[in-house]
């Protein structure tokens, strides 16, 4: 039985090498190896999700039936980091192997520099259909920095080179890179569609302290900025006039109020505990106004 297993393993590995890594001039170091899952570590700063969702389950079933058809790519980790291998491409396949009950996975082991590894890692993932704006933002920023470190890219603009694998223009790449400067909570709102990518780009120019104020205001009034309001927030930030009250005014757009009456948010909150919900505040205020109206009518 042992001999049969060894022969089967040799056939599989020979097949991998004939397809991917045993071409003339290819070094032995680049051949496919079966590496224990326990020795495979996530890429540092890996921006892409690995979810145990329906697609993962489909991959697991495929792995159980056919094995890993396309090997991943890894590089050796320094001994002072604990040794083993850093996955460059194959994070989802590694997880599928784990869920399928396997203990090892076929990998190409290549001697990439940090910048080369980043470029390969991003390009091998960026064309997936289910990528979130936050993932693309972080991935593009990583690849942009890596290409800058590598030096000139000939006549091609660096941003254009970053988006080449996914078919994105340099302008689109720069827009996504700007998103990476948003705080995580705001970036999550871009992922959910409550804040558009275009709005997120404008908001990314706000310094962190102003982004924190914006987060708090959004949580309180449950309103999200549109493109016009995002532009206003950025303009006020640049002018040094953006504070909590100004953010509130921009989001509720009080200038369009038909009555021309506006009560400052801070004035209203003087009468309520900080944890009071917006709906409860509205109901209390409307109730008081009804009582006042009733008394006025009764005394007429």
* Digit-coded pLDDT (tens) for 224-283: 999 999 999 999 999 999 999 999 999 997 545 444 566 777 778 888 887 888 888 888
pLDDT in tens, 182-209: 999 999 999 999 999 999 999 999 999 9
88 by DSSP, 3-state: which?
strand
212 by DSSP, 3-state: which?
helix
Strand locations in 94-190, DSSP E? 104-109
Q: Where are the domains of the chain?
A: 1-111, 270-298
Whole-number pLDDT of residue 3: 46
Question: Is domain 1-111 given the CATH code 3.40.630.30 in the classification?
Answer: no
Joined tokens for residue 45: 């700063």
Q: Which residues, 6+ apart, have CB-to-CB distance to 176 below 8 Å?
A: 133, 136, 137, 140, 168, 197
Whole-number pLDDT of residue 269: 80
In this structure, the strands spanning 72-76 and 32-36 are unpaired
Q: What angle do CA 205, 211, 215 make, to 5 degrees?
A: 140
Taking CA atoms, 229 is separated from 246, 281, 285, in Å, by 11, 25, 27
Query: What is the value of pTM for the model shown?
Result: 0.73
- Burial annotation 234-266 (CB, 10 A radius, 16+ → b, else e): bebbeeeebebebbbbbbbeeeeeeeeeeeebe
105 by DSSP, 3-state: which?
strand
């Amino acid at each position: 039985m042992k001999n049969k297993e060894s022969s089967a393993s040799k056939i599989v590995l020979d097949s991998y090498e004939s397809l991917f890594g045993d071409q003339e001039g290819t070094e032995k170091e680049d051949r496919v190896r079966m590496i224990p899952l326990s020795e495979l570590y996530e890429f540092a700063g890996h921006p892409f999700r690995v979810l145990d969702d329906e697609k993962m389950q489909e991959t697991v079933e495929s792995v159980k039936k056919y094995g890993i058809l396309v090997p991943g790519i890894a590089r050796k980790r320094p001994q002072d980091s604990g040794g083993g291998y850093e996955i460059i491409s194959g994070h989802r396949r590694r997880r599928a192997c784990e869920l399928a009950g396997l203990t090892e996975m076929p990998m190409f082991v290549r001697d990439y520099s940090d910048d080369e590894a980043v470029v390969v890692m991003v390009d091998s993932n960026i064309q997936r259909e289910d990528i979130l704006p936050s993932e693309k933002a972080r991935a593009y920023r990583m690849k942009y920095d890596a290409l800058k470190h590598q030096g000139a890219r000939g006549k091609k603009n660096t941003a254009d080179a970053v988006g080449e694998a996914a078919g994105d223009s340099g302008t689109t790449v720069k827009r996504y890179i700007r998103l990476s400067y948003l705080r995580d909570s705001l970036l999550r709102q871009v992922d959910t569609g409550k804040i558009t990518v275009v709005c997120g780009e404008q908001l990314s120019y706000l310094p962190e302290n102003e982004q924190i104020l914006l987060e708090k205001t959004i949580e309180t009034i449950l309103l999200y900025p549109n493109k016009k309001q995002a532009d206003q927030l950025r303009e006020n930030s640049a002018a040094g006039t953006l504070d909590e009250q100004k953010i509130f005014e921009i989001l509720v757009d009080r200038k369009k109020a038909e009555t021309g009456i506006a009560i400052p948010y801070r004035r209203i909150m003087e009468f309520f505990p900080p944890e009071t919900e917006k709906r409860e505040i509205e109901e209390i205020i409307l109730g008081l106004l009804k009582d006042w109206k009733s008394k006025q009518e009764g005394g007429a």
